[in-house]
Structure 1
Amino acid sequence: MEEAKGVVKHVLLAKFKDDTTPEQIEQLIKGYANLVNLIPPMKAFHWGKDVSIENLHQGFTHVFESTFESTEGISEYIAHPAHVEFANLFLPSLDKVIVFDYKPTIVRC
């Protein structure tokens, strides 16, 4: 196994509050995606909704994954004014949230 060089993934699992409308969720997702244009160490952004048939999601409905060049890049992202402003809009709309940062490991067989 080999750790991917210089890449760190930032994963956020979310469950939106019941009173958050689909239109509000769409706007929040667009705002989240736009951070990749505003924060230089944020290299990529992906998101999706749970489609698992195993029913192990524990109520989480959405996943957001950002790619950074380093753990220092995540620190810069967290402190960046654009992230702080967005987080102040995003987090109050969530009922549940988990954040997990990791360095991907490549398995070669």
Structure 2
Amino acid sequence: MEEAKGLVKHVVLAKFKDDVSPQKIEELIKGYANLVNLVPPMKSFHWGTDVSAENMHEGFTHIFESTFESTEGVAEYVAHPAHVEFANLFLSHLDKVIIVDYKPTIVRL
């Protein structure tokens, strides 16, 4: 196994509050995606909703994944004013959240 050179994935599992409209969720997702344009260390952003047949999502409905080139890049992102402003808005609409950062490992067989 080999650690991917420098890459760090920032994963957010989220469950929006029941009273948050689909339109508001869409607006928040667009705001999240726009952070790629505002925070230089953020290299990519992907998102989706849970489609698992195992039903082990614990109520989390949305997954957000950002890619950074280093743990220092994640720290810069977390402290960046655009992220701080967005995070305060985003988190106020969530019922539950889990955030995990990890370094991907490549498995060569």
User: Would you call these one fold, judging by a TM-score over 0.5?
Assistant: yes
Structure 2 residue aligned with 1:39: 39
Amino acid at match of 2:35: L
* Corresponding letter in the other structure for 2:96: K
Distance 2:52 2:74 in 1: 29
Can you list the C-alpha shifts for 1:75-99, whole angstroms capped at 9, x where unaligned? 0000000000101110000000000
Please show how residues 1-109 of structure 1 align to structure 2 within 5 Å. Answer: 1-109=1-109
Which amino acid counterpart does residue 12 of structure 1 have in structure 2?
V
How big is the shift at 1:59?
Answer: 0.2
| Residue type at the aligned position of 2:91 | L
Specify the code of the residue in structure 2 equivalent to 1:74: V
Cα RMSD after superposing both structures: 0.3
Give the structure-2-normalised TM-score.
Answer: 0.99
Q: What TM-score, normalized by structure 1, do the two folds share?
A: 0.99
Equivalent residue letter for 1:54: E
The answer for unaligned runs of 5 or more in structure 1 is none
Q: Secondary structure, in 3 states, of the residue corresponding to 1:98?
A: strand
Question: How many percent identity over aligned positions?
Answer: 80
CA distance in 2, matches of 1:6, 1:53: 33
Question: For 2:87 and 2:101, how far apart are their aligned partners in 1?
Answer: 17
